[in-house]
Chain A
Amino acid sequence: MGALLLAAGGARAASSDWGWDAASVTPAREAPGSERTFERWIRFYQARVAPLQGRDCPCVPSCSRYTMASMRKYGWLAGFFMGFERLFLRENRDMVLRWHYYTVPVGQDRNYTGPVGQDRKIFDPPEANDPFGPDDWRLVHPGYVAALGEARSCPEPLHR
């Protein structure tokens, strides 16, 4: 039993489309009024423009998801500034150097520890960039997503 416990610790359930693995999904929050306009633009960008671009966003959540989540959580003006700030002032060498960010593995190679690239992305949720947010270090740490649960505004899975 002990070995089983240790082996199962932190493991994810095998995916299946029946039984209890057909888990309940957190429904997306409906954005009210004016936010919908911005969301429509962002969704258009995600559907039509982003696929034409050469490379993926180096962050999780991606910049468009980050902006949408910020707008939902902090209002459209603050959300716009947060998205703008990430796009124009923060996506640079500082992100790649990873001194001020944690990274998360994407895809299957979970033990990859090399530089940011196709297998590893910067973990940068909106809560980590709220200047008036709580001084809770778990907000910047990808290992505490489960611990913070619904306190996060980006319920989408990290590993896509």
Chain B
Amino acid sequence: MSPPSARPGLARNLSTDDLQTLAAGALSSGDTFLAYAYGMASFQLETDRGRRLAAARTAFAACLMGNRMDEAERVINAVTAAYPDDRALAQELAWESALFLYSSGKPVEAEFHLRSVRDDPAYATRAKFLLACARLKANQPSSSAELLRGLEADPAFPHREPLPALAADIERTPDIGHKSRVVGVALSGVLPGAGQIYSGLVFDGIQSFTFCAGFGYATVASWEYGRTRDDVATRWVLPVLITSVFAVFYASNIENAANSARRANLVARARWVDGIVERLDGILSDQHYFLGTPPAKPGVKEAQ
């Protein structure tokens, strides 16, 4: 068997064209690592500026598809280092990174990328809106509302109409959920299960009450019965064991009451934020404004 290099047709060097073709093929087949590797190799070896940037774009797209933000950052750095005078592409990539990170549920990382574009006039308004969204998802409602209020009077932002209501709702976020842990604990301390019912967890309350009442009764009965007996096991060991079990259930009931109140508040708040995020995502779905894609032509129906 002859070695591969001796086969006819294979004795030719790979060109940067081949690398770009391989990168595009790998990207379309979902092999993001190969697309990134070929794309960056082409970027490093190619001499034509336009083709270099196209290769960098392919590598960057592969990073986003593969959710590899460290490598995406490396692409941006490589482009910035190669063309320090031309910040446009690096800014565009940083903006796309921020959008991607936000939509991937990483608002803090998105904010990091937004820092480099928010002072650029081409991105300032969009960046401010995305920053407001990211701050809301990072549990900073007052900062988020403040940013939206700043956008209300900005004529460059095309979706100003819903902003006042959104900002007002975001400001209300910390007030959503009003169950008190102290009240829950106090109620469950007096009557096991009452604190859970106060927080809206009826079955938790019934379960707590049943266990505590059952073992409470067993505790009293075991001590009463023990008094009538002389052997140590019945007089002391059994009552102490049953009392211990009762104590564990009672303490868990108290802890559960505190948890229930806190969790009820947190879930109510999370659902409230979900509603706001949905409305913000509705604005973010304007791809023409946020991603620069051409607007849909009027009268042309989208493909089903």
Contacts and interface: CB of A to CB of B under 8 A. Distances in A.
Contact of A100 (B66, B200, B252): B200
B114 to A, nearest CB: 15
A85 B248 CA distance: 9
A9 B256 contact: no
A25 interface: no
A19 B34 contact: yes
B252 A85 contact: yes
Interface residues of B, number: 61
Interface stretch (B123-131, B145-153, B157-165, B201-209): B201-209
Given A1-B96, A89-B204, A100-B263, A144 B137 contact: yes
Interface in B27-65: 30-34, 36, 57, 61, 64-65
B293 A2 contact: yes
Nearest to A93: B203
B67 A12 contact: yes
Contacts of A11: 65, 67
Q: Which secondary structure characterizes the binding site on chain B? A: helix
A84 B252 contact: yes
A90 interface: yes
Contacts of B9: none
A101 interface: yes
A140 interface: yes
A1 B100 contact: no
Given A100-B264, A101-B267, A137-B266, A10 B103 contact: yes
A59 interface: no
A9 B174 CA distance: 28
B224 interface: no
B61 to A, nearest CB: 6
A89 B252 contact: yes
Contacts, number: 153
Given A12-B67, A146-B104, A99 B255 contact: no
Contact of A8 (B100, B105, B265): B100
Nearest to A138: B139
A144 B273 CA distance: 12
B58 to A, nearest CB: 10
A5 B105 contact: no
Interface residues of A, number: 50
A128 B267 CA distance: 10
A109 interface: no
Contacts of B67: 8, 11-13
Interface in B243-281: 248-249, 251-253, 255-256, 258-260, 262-267, 269-270, 273-274
Nearest to A136: B139
B70 to A, nearest CB: 9
B257 to A, nearest CB: 9
Given A9-B99, A100-B200, 17 more contacts: A4-B64, A5-B64, A10-B105, A13-B65, A14-B30, A16-B33, A19-B33, A88-B211, A88-B249, A89-B252, A90-B204, A90-B207, A100-B201, A137-B139, A140-B267, A141-B270, A144-B137
16 contacts: A2-B287, A5-B100, A6-B287, A10-B103, A11-B67, A12-B67, A19-B31, A82-B255, A89-B208, A101-B267, A131-B255, A135-B266, A135-B269, A138-B139, A144-B137, A145-B105
Those 8 A-B pairs whose CB atoms lie nearest each other, nearest first? A19-B33, A9-B103, A2-B291, A131-B258, A137-B269, A2-B293, A137-B270, A93-B203
